[in-house]
Amino acid sequence: MLDYKFDLSAASQLKRSPPSGIDIVIAGGGPGGLFAALHCYRKGHNVRVLESGRGYDLNGGYIRIGGSVIDNLDAFPGLREAVDLIDHDSKIVVYSADGEFVSGPIYPPKGGGLPFAGISVHRSALSRLLYEYAQALGLEVQFNTRIASYYEDEMKGGCVSKTGERFEADLVIAADGIGSHSAELVSTEGKNEVVGSGLAIFRSTFPAKDSYKNPEVKKFFRDPHPGSGVTIMMRAQQGYGVIFADDELVSLNFNHPDSGDASERWDQKTIKDAVLAYLEEDKFCQVIRDAVLAAPDDAFFNWRLMFRNPTPNWVSPHGRVVQLGDAAHTYLPSSGNGATQALEDGVCLAACLQLAGKSQVSLAARVYNKLRFERTSCLQKIGFRNRAHTMKSSNEEFKQRKGPIVGKWVTAHDPEAYTYEKYGLCVNHLLMDAPFQNENTPPGHKYVPWTMDDFLNGNDDPGKETGDWS
């Protein structure tokens, strides 16, 4: 369980825009959906959130709130201070798989405009915090509601739960992740092709006290790093490990060859023996195996890493259903930016709806799609490239890694200011074919469509030949 105690009494001081009259249903109560809900409420919209789970347990792993959205937290009184409570405050240390110290510690900067900038938090801790903030504002969040289908007409969007419950609104936001049934309504190009990467990740997060009962594990994870969290990166022969540890939680992540039994589901767990067998085969040191042995028996998932093409269209034909986060743009973990882009989505969409008004909800959805797609596609490409370079790197090259590096164009971006600046120009482009060029991609970059086939065929940098990606 997560035992954080948040003081959100300042939420009552939120400055809210005048009511827009726009009714919104958000399917998906993860960080992306909840952050979108907060921003939509702040912009004067009426919001209801539907979440498939029963609550916020320890599913998932650590994610990064990037520099591009950190300042947006300040729009919500008390939220930034609450995020500080769950900040992993991580330094990075590199070891070989046999436990030999290689390099570090590296302290990633937290401000915008610098590589690897942001705050590391556990996904479930952030979800619970955003949920409690939504509750403090009086927003409705309904649990145990898994959406099975989406529909629309010219005036309303709708979704139907597995139990047959129907929900309608001026706009339905599909923030329900990989496999969202919104694709059946939104996609204009057929089902997006999915190709296995040949890799999977053993993932587990559990209370640190379970592992620290073993003094050797505590000595390795915590004794050298008092007062802060640590991110331990370990390169093996077949894969690599990324371990997050602090005084509260341990999160183990082992990239390994997919033997065929992995999946993209959080409700399908794997046995510890399978994890231990991989660690032995790839010659991880005994202290890492001991950490796995100390984990609860039902703590591990075997998450399959899948390749997907970027999808340019996130909006249904009538513009009453729109995708957000993983439902729109699925990232490999190696991008280091997937969660941040979902948070950016919510900021942008809420502002688009405010500028459009109730009579132009469909147009707002299309503008949001146009403003966001090229940026998210460029960052998906970085995830492919980071993965390729990690798997191809020698042990010596791996020693020099500081994590998934992203450029200033990623971290220094302000999604709300950008939306206000570009909204009118983008409307003119969509309605009157006026010239329009996004400026939230690498400076000087001209976007070139790409597919996963470019990477599968050995081209690590398709379309990267223009602009400054540093």
Active site residues: 203
Backbone CA torsion sign across 322, 323, 325, 328: negative
In angstroms, the CA 452 to CA 210 distance is: 40
DSSP state letters, 271-335: -HHHHHHHHHHTT--HHHHHHHHHS-TT--EEEEEEEE---S--B-TTS-EEE-GGGT----GGG
The partner residues of 48 in beta bridges, in order of sequence, read 25, 140
Contact criterion met (CB below 8 Å) for 268 and 301: yes
User: What gap in Å lies between CA 95 and CA 325, rounded to an integer?
Assistant: 33
Residue closest to 270 by CA, chosen among 303, 246, 317: 303
**CA pair distance 43, 56, nearest whole angstrom:** 26
d(CA 39, CA 25) in angstroms, rounded, equals 13
Residue type, 443: P
Residues 6+ apart with CB under 8 A from 162: 146, 147, 148
* Residues 324/352, Cβ–Cβ less than 8 Å: no
Alpha carbon 232 to its chain's center: 20
**End-to-end CA, the chain:** 40
Question: What tokens were used for 366?
Answer: 């299309």
